[in-house]
Amino acid sequence: MNILGVNDVRQRELRTAEPLVPEPSVLEFELVIEKLKCHKSLGIDHIPAELINAGCRTIHSELHKLIISVWNKDKLPEK
């Protein structure tokens, strides 16, 4: 009879666990940008929503790449 200990089961779960939330797609990112409310107080990044909304597809694409990078590495890039 082979009985696994609790620690063995937890280690197996850690190795086989899949991410619970998939990274945001380009479409999801574009939809969120469209929903940004203008004329609101600036957030911690000091970037007004109007600036992000006015950005072209290239700027939105670069922002999406940055977000995906942070999402996958689970940390902010160094300056």
Q: Can you give the residue ranges of every domain in the chain?
A: 21-73
In this predicted structure, what is the pLDDT of residue 65? 93
- Give tens-digit pLDDT for 4-62: 555 555 555 555 555 577 889 999 999 999 898 888 888 888 889 898 888 888 889 99
At 79, the pLDDT band (50, 70, 90 cuts) reads low
- List own/partner pairs for 20-24 with CB under 8 A and 24 or more apart: 23/68, 23/71, 23/72, 24/64, 24/67, 24/68, 24/71
In this predicted structure, what is the pLDDT of residue 71? 86
At 64, the pLDDT band (50, 70, 90 cuts) reads very high
